[in-house]
Amino acid sequence: MVEAIGAIVIVVGVITAFAAWVLSELRVRPRRFEEIRLLLGRFLALGIEFQLGSDILSTAVAPTYEELGKLGAIVAIRTVLNFFLGRELEHERQREESEAA
């Protein structure tokens, strides 16, 4: 269930960012490319958090050492991905704020 929510969040984000990009390319609602990337990045970060929660819940029932090892690897990979994604989002947000000022 939680994994499906994460997937839905990511799909909604991809559709939203794609629609924003298409509207921008058609000059209907112009937006900077970085702004669209930031929009998609927010959805991806949230979706990754749901996916991680799903992995933790599935392992919490009756974990074996093998499952715990896999969970540890998944958590490490997703944490690193989320860290760098968050850092990039923060960098883009600061750049937008400085350009607006």
Question: In angstroms, what CA-CA distances link 58 with 7, 53, 54, 71?
Answer: 16, 9, 6, 9
Per-residue pLDDT in tens (0 to 9) along the chain, 101 residues: 888 999 999 999 999 999 999 999 999 998 888 889 889 988 988 898 898 888 888 777 777 888 888 888 878 887 888 788 888 878 877 887 888 77
Per-residue pLDDT, 43: 92
Q: Which amino acid is present at 36? A: I
Per-residue pLDDT, 14: 97
Q: Which amino acid is present at 100? A: A
- Domain residue ranges in the chain: 2-100
pTM given for the model: 0.72
User: Can you read off the two tokens belonging to residue 35?
Assistant: 């702004």
Buried b or exposed e, range 43-67, using 16+ CB within 10 angstroms = bbbbbbebbbebbeeebeeeeeeee
Per-residue pLDDT, 12: 97
